[in-house]
Amino acid sequence: MPNYAAKLSSAYVSSELIAEFIAALPMVVREIYGDRSLTAYYGWACNLHSDLLYKPMAVSLDVFPYFIEDSVEQRIYEIGGSDLLVEFPDSSLSILLCHESDIHLDGEDDVAINQIVARFPQLGFRSAEEWKSVHRNESNAEPPSSAG
């Protein structure tokens, strides 16, 4: 289910698409903010003691791909199976790589959010209202006919 509290949520996507998004993220962030560090947080379903979850970790853009790689290799973070929250300068943009195999974009920086959405059309980002409409239409659909 999309996170209705987030500004935009992607469709449910494969771990491969999430990995592609993660790999491209440093370049996209550089285009938006320049060469700044981000803050990462291990979240729900990460394989860590609960006291270590949601602790801020400053990660430079150059190191971010290795941070993800190490987190996956150490079985701390599972792409599409656990939460990793990434925040950018002044918390103006946050990206939740969700344990439900979707991605949530939130924050006040609509320009950055729109650039990310435009850059990754294959992820199918939509607002909460758009997702609610999709789900209403799906639940109102007629069941398939058995007549043949």
Provide the pLDDT confidence category of residue 148 given band limits of 50, 70 and 90: very low
Whether 10 and 128 have beta carbons less than 8 Å apart is answered as no
Give domain limits for the chain. Answer: 8-138
pTM value?
0.88
Give the model confidence (pLDDT) of 80-115 as tens digits. 999 999 998 787 999 999 999 999 999 999 999 999
For 103, other C-beta atoms within 10 Å of its C-beta total 27
Residue closest to 94 by CA, chosen among 131, 39, 33, 46: 39
Q: Which residues contact 106 (CB under 8 A, 6 or more apart)?
A: 5, 6, 7, 8, 93, 94, 95, 96
pLDDT for res 132? 84
Give the model confidence (pLDDT) of 45-69 as tens digits. 999 999 999 999 999 999 999 999 9
